[in-house]
Each structure stands twice: as structure tokens, then as C-alpha cells.
Structure 1
Amino acid sequence: MKRRKFLKNSSLTTVGIVSASALASCKTENKTEENTLAPTSSETIKPIVVCTWNFHNATSKAWEVLSKGGNALDAVEQGVMVEEADETNETVGKGGRPDRDGNVTLDACIMDKDGNCGSVVYLQNIVHPVSVARKVMEETPHIILAGKGAEKFAYEQGFEKEDLLTESTRKQYQEWLKTSKYETTINIENHDTIGMLAIDANGDISGACTTSGMAYKVVGRVGDSPIIGAGLYVDNEVGGATATGVGEEVIRTVGSFLIVELMRQGKSPQEACEEGVKRIMKKNEGREDFQIGFLAINKNGETGGYCVHPGFTYREYSEKGHENRQVKSFYS
């Protein structure tokens, strides 16, 4: 039963949260190109797509949709699906590193221009959790489905079961079992996220976020990536934001929602991202053992990013070009 039809014929109301974040290593396609700092401009830029880290192929796919007149929702879904299907990306989708029991568990969310959103958490055996999240948004009255329930729903929607462990990640897991030690390394992470934001030719904004989460995490752990307001948030009147890094810290400040609200109050995307990181660091005074990166875009297509440690970048594609943008950091 369709979401809107269900709500029209029922007194049921639901409230949910969803979003996205995570952290880590970035792809390095086109290694010879120069990173550039994000510009500031009052000029309206549309269409445009941005994503966390240097996921060149993902933004290329999203731009393909936008440049043909497609909408932002389709663009962000198809864009992040590229990384979900890439077995060499061991932090997203198929080939993602497993939890401590050896199971690959995926989190994803999606949000459209009208504030509709869908999320899946702790999903197994499905390559494209972002597409399942969209089905949750469009085909149910709910926002979040989890674990076995999310997996069952995916099969009902026609998604196929597939082993998400690859030969590479299986060998890495067997090696990890020898010490079973958990640690993160700044910008050479054992986990990562792709968060993507797009504005289409109509000026409408959508966002998506997907991850396999922390490698060798405690079974059942869910980060900020599928939590709306934490790892991802979109307000079509203002802009959107997404996050990458240690999700627990993003959740504590409802980071992406905070950044969008700061833009509503008049801050630029750059100023809002800086304030978001500074609030996290105020609660973690003296800590230097984790990374957070925020990415934001406002209604005019102006972008900005900020992080805790140097190294975080974001990829931007518009009619002005296709660039990997380096961002400033709290610890320079």
C-alpha cells in the first residue's frame, strides 16, 4: 500500500528519525588533479551535486542524471549506488568490512525536497541499502526499518539476496581475529560514509547517505549515517547537510540538522560547518583521537565543509566543473 494512500485512509501517525555519517579513507581517482578550496558566491548555481570524500564516479553518475533534467532524489540515489556496488570500496555496500561476528551490516537513508525520508539500519545481504531506504519512504507509513525486518521487506520489494563479504574483506577479517583489536586511524579509516546532496534544475534539494559502518564494530552498532538529523538533513527552503566520521559524536549534537538551522539563521554553509565541528570539540575538549567532517549546501548552491583533522575533502560537480575540494580543519 502506498505511503500517501495509507496515511489518507488511516488514523495512524508515525514519527521517525533517520540520517547519516561516518568516516575515513577517500577514493583517489584522478590523483594528479589539484584540490581547491570551496568558493563563496551569491550567484545561484543549479543543478549541482556534492558528496563527502573524493568519490569521483559517484558524483559523475549523479551529474549524469541532473544534466539530463532528472530530479535531485534520483540523482543522489543513483550516485551513491555506484559506491555501494563497488567491491573495492570496503566501507560501503558490497565488500564493506564486517562486524565482530563477521557479518556485513549496512545503514542508509534518503530524504527528498518535501521532507519525506526513509532509512534502513543493520541490513544484511542486500547490496543497495539506499534503494531499500527509498522503498521504505515511498511504500510504507514508516521511516526506519531495522535488521531482519528490513531484510524481509527488501525481499518483498524484489531485492535479491547476496553475500556481501568479498575474498579481500574475508581475509582481512580472519587476520583481525588474531588480535581482535579495535582502533581508528585519522583519515585512513576502517570505516567511511558517502553522503550526497543535490540541487536539480528546478531548485529542489535531496540527500542520501550510505555506509557499512565501523569495521569490526560491536554487533548491532548503528552510527549516525541512517539517522535523519544526525548524518543527513534536508530542508528545501534552506539547504542540506551531511556528515562523515565517528557517528556517535555527530549524533550527540544532531549535527546535520544543526548545520541546516544555522544556515536558516543566516550563516553560510562554510560558517555553519565550522560551528558544527566547534560544538562537537567543545564537548570533547582536548581530544584528538577522532575525525568528523561536515558538508553543506544552501539553496543558492553555495557549498562548504569543515573537519576536525586535516584530510577531509568533498567532491563537487556543476556546470562550472568537477572538482575535489579540500576543507579547513579545527586542528590545522
Structure 2
Amino acid sequence: MKRRKFIKNSGALTAGILTTPVIASSTPKVNNEQGPINAAKGTIPIAICTWDFGNATAKAWEVLNAGGSSLDAVHQGVMVEEDNLENQTVGTGGRPDRDGNVTLDACIMDKDANCGAVLALQNIANPISVARKVMEETPHVMLVGKGAEQFAYEQGFEKKNLLTEKSKKEWEEWKKTSNYKPIINIENHDTIGMLAIDKNGDISGACTTSGMAYKMAGRVGDSPIIGAGLYVDNEIGGATATGVGEEVVRTVGSFLIVELMRQGKSPQEACEEGVKRIIAKNKDKQDFQIGFIAINKNGDTGAYCIHPGFTYRTYTDEGHINNPSASYLKS
């Protein structure tokens, strides 16, 4: 049953679909240099993502610059990395679990708080697209494992072997010791989270990952969990996370950051408080990375992490910049 039909039959109100004309604007100069370690001033339209995924923000900006919606921008933006075989932390070519299976997680959320997610999805190249189908074509928010895979086939997605030869060889080498120890800013570089605001001022977000390399079969982190790895409130702003997902889940990190912005904190202040909450719950353990990014309704951005090394991309009509994030620990 389609989501809209389900809601209508339940007596809920449905919103009209707005169409936006294509607008022309200048393409900003790409800047591959790192920007200053501080929060960016507000401007819209804007696309922002975790880490230095410049091709992803470039795609999102292409959508925004043509007058497209923030939802289409984040969807198409993160798909770039899902299809990037050189990226072994997202989509096809992602590192497998300890049993050799590539399992993918993703979620998406729009301006009206509609959301969809898939967890532990196998054999499908673009989990973010399946998550959007869950949001738009079902009365549910999350589909998991075999159920999510079957739904994808019913929606016309093709079965694909996601384990590339490179990732397979690395997994076979790992099995010789089976030593599971995530490396800060390397193995934890496992997520692309993206937020965007379109010309109408509407906010959407998307998050997609193959999760921790060599995780236990069935493990799911924060990335596909609405409120943990991603949260959007169109009245306030949005936030998304990367790093050790278990720690983000424990504080419902992205929701926390948006609520802190609701209380009056800037995106930067909210991200810093989000990291400090995690630190407070891990006083004797700091050998892991967490990174948050956030954006408010004005297009102001912020980012904060535990260890130095986390960066985030911003793309506006003022430029395309990889921004180093300030960190709780300085070395």
C-alpha cells in the first residue's frame, strides 16, 4: 500500500506537492583548499556532508543550483559515494562483515519529517534509493535484512554482488588474525551524512554506510537510525553523524543537536555539546572517533569531533570548501 494512500485511509491530512521552476545561477568556484576551523556563516542554498566527499556535494549542488529540492539533492549526492568503488566504507565495494557479507544501512528524511530507512541490506547497490522508496511507498519507516531486500526487488532494483575483489582480499587477510580494532579516522571513516537547504529554505538529510569493517553479522550502527545518525526538523535545522555508531545511538546524537539548536544554541555550539555528552559517558575511553555536522534554518553550519582529522564539505554560491572540524582532543 502506498504511503499517501495509507495516510489518507487513516484520516490524516496530506500535503500538496509543490513544483519549483528551474532557476539559473552562477556556479561557484571550487576550492579544494581547507577552510578555517570554525563555523561557516549562513547562506542558502547549501549542501554539507561529512568528510571530504567533494564529488557528492558537487552533485548535490548541481541539483540545488538548478532549482531542485533538498530531498533530491541529498539523495543524488550520497549516491555518488554509494557508486564509488574506491570508497570502501559506503555502498558497492564496502568492506564486509566478519562472515564476508557486505551489508548496507541508509536513511533519508525530508522537510515534512517523512523518513525511510533500510538496515543490514544485502545485494542492492543503492540503499539510499531503497530507503526513499520505504518513505514514499510504504506506511513504514524501517525495513530490515531480507525483508528490505525483497522490497527492493519488488520496486525494480537489481541484485548485485557488492563484494569487490579488493575488499574480498582485504577481508581474507584480516581473517588470518581476526583482530577487530577500529582505527581512528580510517576504519571509522564509514559514513557519508549529508544535509541540504534548497532555495525555498527547506531542509532534508540522508545518511548511508557499509558500517564498521569486519563487524559481527547483523550489527547496525547509528547511520540508518532516525534521531541517532540523522535528524531533520524543518523549523530548526538538521544534524548527522559519523564514527563509532554505538556511541551516537546512546545519546541519540543528531536529535540532541537539533534540540539544542531549538533551545537557542548555534550549530557549532550544539555539535560541541553533542560530543561532550558522549565524552562524559566514556570518561575512561577516548580511543574512538565521533564527528557531528549541523545546519540551522539560516544556513549556518557547525562541526565538532573527538580527535583531530575529521573534515566536512560545504558547497554554496560562495564556494566549495573542505572544512577541518575543531576537536575535543587537540592531538
TM-score range, shorter chain: over 0.9
Aligned to 2:114: 116
Residue equivalent to 1:143: 141
Residue ranges of structure 2 left out of the alignment (5+ in a row): 13-29
Partner of 1:21: none
- 1:66: Cα distance to partner? 0.1
Contact 1:191 1:212 in 2 (8 A): no
Aligned pair in 2 of structure 1 residues 257, 267: CA closer, same or farther (>3 Å)? same
Which digits, 9 at most, give the CA deviation of each residue in 1:101-152, with x for residues without a partner?
1000000000000000000000000010000000000000000000000000
**CA distance in 2 between partners of 1:72 and 1:274 (Å):** 25
Secondary structure of 1:135's aligned partner? helix
1:6: how far off? 1.3
The correspondence of residues 24-35 of structure 1 with structure 2, limited to 5 A, is: 33-35=33-35
Paired with 2:9 and 2:92, the residues of 1 have a C-alpha distance of: 38
Give, as a single letter, the amino acid of the residue that structure 2 aligns with 1:261: E
Question: Whole-Å Cα distance in 2 between the matches of residues 109 and 159 of structure 1?
Answer: 17
Distance 1:159 1:191 in 2: 27
Query: How do 1:82-161 and structure 2 match up within 5 A?
Result: 82-161=80-159
Aligned mates of 2:169, 2:35 — CA distance in 1: 34
Unaligned 5+ runs, structure 1:
13-29
Letter in 1 for 2:34: E
SS in 2 for 1:33: strand
State the Cα RMSD in Å.
1.5
Q: 1:210: how far off?
A: 0.1
For residue 259 of structure 2, what is the aligned residue in structure 1? 261
Give the alignment partner of residue 191 of structure 2, picking from 190, 193, 202: 193
Q: 2:202 aligns with which of 204, 217, 220?
A: 204
SS of residue matched to 2:34: coil
TM-score, normalization by structure 1 = 0.92
Structure-2 change in CA distance of 1:135 and 1:302 (3 Å): same
Distance in 2, matches of 1:249 and 1:242, equals 13
Separation of aligned partners in 2, 1:207 and 1:36 = 24
Letter of the aligned partner of 1:218 in structure 2?
M
**Paired position in structure 2 for 1:45:** 43
Contact 2:97 2:217 survives alignment (8 Å)? yes
Instruction: Supply the distance in 2 between the matched residues of 1:32 and 1:201 (Cα, whole angstroms).
Output: 25
- SS in structure 2 at match of 1:228: coil
Q: Percent identity?
A: 73
What is the number of residues matched between the two proteins? Answer: 313
- One-letter identity of the residue aligned with 1:304: G
Asked if structure 2 preserves the Cα contact closer than 8 Å seen for 1:110 and 1:118, the reply is yes
- The answer (yes or no) to whether the contact 1:36–1:323 under 8 Å persists in 2 is no
**Quick check: 1:4 aligned with 2:4?**
yes
Letter in 1 for 2:85: E
Name the residue aligned to 1:223.
221
Question: Which secondary structure state, in structure 2, belongs to the residue aligned with residue 81 of structure 1?
Answer: helix
> What letter is aligned with 1:161?
K
Match of 2:22 in 1: none
* Corresponding residue SS for 2:205: strand
Alignment of 1:56 with 2:61, yes or no, is no
What is the TM-score when the length of structure 2 is the normalising length?
0.92
The list of structure 1 runs, each at least 4 consecutive aligned residues, that deviate by more than 4 angstroms after superposition, is: none
Question: Is the deviation greater in 179-188 or in 139-148?
Answer: 179-188
Contact 2:31 2:320 in 1 (8 A): no
- Does residue 247 of structure 1 match 2:245? yes
Aligned to 2:36: 36
Contact kept? 2:188, 2:244, Cα under 8 Å: no
Match of 1:24 in 2: none
Amino acid in the other structure paired with 1:3? R
Residue 35 (structure 1) shift: 3.6
Q: Cα offset for 1:248?
A: 0.3
Q: Offset at 1:38?
A: 3.5
- Determine which of 72, 75, 95 is the counterpart of 2:73: 75
CA distance in 2 between counterparts of 1:31 and 1:197 reads 19
| Aligned partners of 2:44 and 2:299 also within 8 Å | yes
Partner in structure 2 of residue 23 of structure 1: none
Structure 2 distance, partners of 1:108, 1:260, is 20
For 2:283, the aligned partner's letter is E
In structure 2, what is the Cα distance between the partners aligned to 1:32 and 1:110? Answer: 27
Helix, strand or coil at the partner of 1:82: helix
**Residue of structure 2 equivalent to 1:330:** 328
Find the aligned partners of 1:40 and 1:217 in 2 and give their Cα distance: 35
In the alignment, the residues of structure 2 paired with residue 103 and residue 70 of structure 1 have an alpha-carbon distance, to the nearest angstrom, of 36
Between the aligned partners of 2:38 and 2:8, the Cα distance in structure 1 is 44
1:122/1:66 CA distance change after superposition, 3 Å: same
Aligned residue in 1 for 2:15: none
Moved more, 185-194 or 44-53: 185-194
Deviation per CA, 1:38-88: give whole Å up to 9, x if none.
3454xx511000000000100000000000000000000000000000011
Q: Deviations over 1:20-40 (max 9, x none)?
A: xxxxxxxxxx99623432345
- Aligned partner of 1:145: which letter? L
